[in-house]
């Protein structure tokens, strides 16, 4: 396992649409292991492969609390097959937009399907933090950052702040 560099705005790769994965094999599991190690090191709760420069439809996530045992999750080719009409606001942050947080409104519940670490098909419902995080990470697969849901002014402020942070 290796810790990879996390790309930050305005890196052009972050705007790429990720390609579907053909097969869950040892090479893909090695990528997911690297992603998980990178996410824990950052630290974060979710990471899409495109954030480390690999535009494939792969996400890792761990929503366990600080004092809880780690509970890594893997999502290959995830798809939202249903989203609730009711929405919920949540203050989001992103490893690719370091030290910037703002409120985003998203569907409160979703149903998703994906392949897991073993390549098995899974379908499940998500609500709360899980729903927020999976939608946030799936946006990355489409080249969308959480700041793209904000006003142009707020988005420009976020990018300016990150550029300044990176220069420091």
Any domain includes 66: yes
Close Cβ partners of 91 (under 8 Å, ≥ 6 residues apart): 101, 102, 103, 104
Is residue 111 within 8 Å of residue 82, measured between CB atoms? yes
68 is catalytic: no
Any domain includes 38: yes
Per-residue pLDDT of the chain (168 residues; tens, 9 = 90+): 899 999 999 999 999 999 999 999 999 999 999 999 999 999 999 999 999 999 999 999 999 988 999 999 999 999 999 999 999 999 999 999 999 999 999 999 999 999 999 999 999 999 999 999 999 999 999 999 999 999 999 999 999 999 998 887
Predicted local distance difference test score (pLDDT) of residue 1: 80
Any domain includes 6: no
CATH number at residue 76: 3.90.45.10
Predicted local distance difference test score (pLDDT) of residue 66: 86
What is the number of structural domains in the chain?
A: 1
Residue 38 and residue 32: Cα distance in Å, rounded? Answer: 10
Residue 152 and residue 65: Cα distance in Å, rounded? Answer: 33
Any domain includes 7: no
Any domain includes 2: no
Q: One of 68, 79, 137, 142 is an active-site residue; which one?
A: 137
Close Cβ partners of 167 (under 8 Å, ≥ 6 residues apart): none
Any domain includes 57: yes
Predicted local distance difference test score (pLDDT) of residue 50: 98
3-state secondary structure of 118: coil
Any domain includes 1: no
Instruction: Give Cα separations from 124 to 61, 77, 127, 139, 166 (angstroms).
Output: 15, 14, 10, 18, 38
Predicted local distance difference test score (pLDDT) of residue 167: 84
Any domain includes 4: no
Residue 143 and residue 147: Cα distance in Å, rounded? Answer: 12
Range of the domain at 147: 12-167
Judge if the upstream peptide bond of residue 43 is cis by omega within 30 degrees of 0.
yes
Predicted local distance difference test score (pLDDT) of residue 168: 76
């Amino acid at each position: 396992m290796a810790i990879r560099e996390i790309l930050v705005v305005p890196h052009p790769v972050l705007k790429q649409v990720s390609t579907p994965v053909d097969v869950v094999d040892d090479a893909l599991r090695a990528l997911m292991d690297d992603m998980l190690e990178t996410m824990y090191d950052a630290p974060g709760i979710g990471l899409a492969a495109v954030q480390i420069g690999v535009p494939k439809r792969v996400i890792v996530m761990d929503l366990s609390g600080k004092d809880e045992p780690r509970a890594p999750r893997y999502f290959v080719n995830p798809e939202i097959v249903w989203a609730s009409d009711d929405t919920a606001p949540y203050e989001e942050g992103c490893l690719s937009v370091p030290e910037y947080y703002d409120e985003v409104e998203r569907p409160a519940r979703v149903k998703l399907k994906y392949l897991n670490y073993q390549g098995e098909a899974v379908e499940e419902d998500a609500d709360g933090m899980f729903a927020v995080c999976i939608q946030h990470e799936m946006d990355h697969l489409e080249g969308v950052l959480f700041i793209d849901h904000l006003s142009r002014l707020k988005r420009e402020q976020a990018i300016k702040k990150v550029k300044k942070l990176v220069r420091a």
